[in-house]
Amino acid sequence: MTLRYLLNQFIKTEWREIREPCELAEIRLLIQEIACKYITLPTSSLSFQGKRREKLRLSWWLAGAATFHMEAAAPEIERCDAGDVESDHDGAAAAAERVPPWREQVTARGMVAALLIGFVYTVIIMKLALTTGIIPTLNVSAALLAFLALRGWTRAPALLLHPGAGASSSSSRRRPFTRQENTVVQTCAVACYTMGFGGGFGSSLLALNRKTYELAGVSTPGNSPGSYKEPGVGWMTGFLFAISFVGLLNLLPLRKALIIDYKLTYPSGTATAVLINGFHTPQGENSAKKQVRGFLNCFGISLLWSFFQWFYTGGESCGFLQFPTFGLKAWKQTFYFDFSLTYVGAGMICSHLVNLSALFGAILSWGIMWPLISIQKALIMGDGLYHFIKVTGITAKSLHERSNRRHAKKATNEDTFVIADMQRDEFFNKDYIPNWLAYAGYALLSIVAVIAIPIMFQQVKWYYVVVAYVLAPVLGFSNAYGTGLTDMNMSYNYGKIALFIFAAWGGRDNGVIAGLVGCGIVKQLVQVSADLMHDLKTGHLTLTSPRSMLVGQAIGTAMGCIIAPLTFLLFYKAFDIGNPDGYWKAPYALIFRNMAILGVEGFSALPKHCLELSAGFFAFSVLINLMRDFLPRKYGDYVPLPTAMAVPFLVGANFAIDMCVGSLIVLTWHKINSKESALLVPAVASGFICGDGIWMFPSSLLSLAKVKPPICMKFTPGS
């Protein structure tokens, strides 16, 4: 029973309710009212909103779909003149309802836009990874930029050639910009810039270099002489190509089970889909115009401000980045506002709890406890272990409950259906990807990795790689399922477990390199497969073909495998990366190196009293998480996050102050105008991040060319 048949029967059955339909808008409203009577929703589909609101939303969607099929379903409609039936906006909306074949969803202009967006965000991600290691979620802003780029692409030529012509005349001569193309571009761009942090450039890969090896202590037991490998474009690019594409095929045969059968929500993917669907409506386009204006204004302000700041950084500890906002004594303890609009924007995107947790950690560390050592590792590991166990428990519990409900569902599914979901499922299953292709591709790419990786790293035996690739599907499914339930991608925690296993397996001479490389392999395999499920969820909700999504993800991954190493090497050559006393601290590189040493040597490698301190803060981290989960919600929501608290122990308090400024902006804006803030905060924050991030590219080129800023602005105590 196809969707077209259902819609035809639906309209014919209720035709008596429609009287002389001469206006398309009236037909839509009438069908919307009728649809409300037919839609029933299973409890499992109500993840975020109430049943009534979800019912109205789906009925409105159905009304649009039914209107599109009106001509085929009810040929007896007495058509009115074209001028009376639909306006330009209605025609555009009707055209948007047509779902193009998957080959038309992947376009050359879309891939160019994805390349530009991916490059911009790779620069931004690389800066964040090499300074604090905190990476905000940028999927929503990537969807906004994709909409901005392609909407401008489709309309600009006609407006330039015929300034008096409207947008409709432009669309009539060019391929229309659909939500499916928007989704593919967003997916491709996200896959590209994800390589910037998923590849380990701020953690496991950077931990292999000589500077991190020396910072960990040349004479430290387990940190064997010569256990380092300097960054290079060749081996980094080859390593990413060897490990990244396998993750795309890891869970491909299970996509229907995860998205349709289990109905996992994947909150970030769902939020992105809602945004994209909203853009491609007349009302959504008006909102998008406001967001675009806000983005461009803040992008320009941020770029000009970063350019202005550069002139005052002509020396060590110079410029606004070292401005003693709260006095010189507080500045020495890293308590100052450094005017970084990147972190102000990140603070606007992150929740208030994350920002306040970071500030609390800054006060605890730099204000009270510093220089106690190694505490941050216990906080991060304790928080990670707790969430790993928690998400695994949620996954197991959910699978068990679904298994128990399987037979009951068989009896009720025939009586309960959602027409909108049926159409989504129909399109999702239409462009079938053969399972044999996924299995064969996984086996072939695994063989390539088993051969290539031991050549790059002699300390990594071929059977280490085999074990990693055998475990990847099991770990990938667990992570993808948990991510769909909680929106928490635990790939880094799986990577840390692999780090300890391979480091211990490799022994004293080879353990550090084997652990770090094994960590990178497992983390990347698990993360890419979960990211693909996120994107497939977005595609499911926007009626985008899984084939086009897979192609977009593969193209974006290939872009990222080339762009990320080049961008990293640009930063690595231009700045003092990994200096614990400088701006580019790259804190997670040293953490991962020390964890690898710990895996080789055990607890004997830790400094005196470090184990006691680490155990205490490990227990503190677990206790904090238990409080968050078991206290009443009105209290638990205010318990700080241990991982956010741990970061200032390494990078200082200034970034926490920047992010709290972002929170303060959002809070004030929300008090003044809550509707406007809800609409514009993501766009404004993205503008701040992108403007400051883009400046890093010309700044890096100037540094490589030995062009120094003309002024050093520094503050000293008065006489």
Q: Report the alpha-carbon distance of residue 670 to residue 673 in Å, rounded.
A: 5
272-296 exposure pattern, b = at least 16 Cβ within 10 A, e = fewer: bbbbbbebbbeebbebbeebbebbe
Predicted confidence (pLDDT) per residue in 348-365, tens digit: 877 788 788 888 888 887
Which ranges in 457-490 belong to alpha helices (H)? 462-486
Rounded to whole angstroms, what are the CA distances from 482 to 268, 395, 416, 469, 524?
Answer: 13, 6, 27, 20, 17
Q: For 241-267, write each residue's pLDDT tens digit.
A: 999 999 888 888 888 877 877 777 776
Q: Which of 447 and 346 is assigned the larger pLDDT? A: 447
Q: 591 to each of 580, 613, 650, how far by Cα in Å?
A: 12, 16, 10
Chain length of the chain: 719
Three-state secondary-structure class, residue 629: helix
642: nearest Cα among 633, 632, 629, 660: 629
Q: Where are the domains of the chain?
A: 3-85, 108-379+565-704
How open is the CA angle 86-90-93, to the nearest 5 degrees?
Answer: 150
Q: Could you give the 3-state DSSP secondary structure of residue 711?
A: coil
- Let me know if 717 is exposed, middle or buried by CB neighbors in 10 A (0-12, 13-18, 19+): exposed
Say what the pTM is. Answer: 0.68
pLDDT above 70 for 239: yes
pLDDT of residue 64: 46
Residue 55 confidence (pLDDT) above 50:
no
Beta bridge partners of 313: 712
Q: Is-contact 513 457, C-beta < 8 A?
A: yes
Q: Give the list of residues 6+ apart from residue 487 with CB closer than 8 angstroms, or none.
A: 266, 267, 268
DSSP string, 482-542: HHHHH----HHHHHHHHHHHHHHHHHHHHHHHHHHHHHHHHHHHHHHHHHHHHHHHHHHHT
pLDDT tens column, 295-330: 788 888 988 998 998 888 887 778 888 888 888 888
What's the pLDDT tens digit per position in 114-149? 999 999 889 888 988 898 776 766 777 788 888 888
Q: Is the pLDDT higher at 122 or at 432?
A: 122
What does the alpha-carbon distance between residue 501 and residue 522 come to, in Å, rounded to a whole number? 11
DSSP secondary structure, 285-326, as one string: HHHHHHHHHHHHHHHHHHHHHHHHHHTTB-STT-SGGG--TT
Estimate the share of the chain in helix, then strand, then coil, as percent rounded to the nearest 5. Answer: 75, 0, 25
Task: Report pLDDT for 238.
Answer: 94
Helix (H) or strand (E) holding 48: none
What local confidence, expressed as pLDDT, does residue 610 receive?
67
What number of other Cβ atoms are within 10 A of residue 637's Cβ?
A: 12
Peptide bond into 371 cis (omega under 30): yes
Instruction: Find out whether 65 and 73 touch, Cβ atoms under 8 Å.
Output: no
Q: With 80 as the cut, is the pLDDT of residue 660 above it?
A: yes
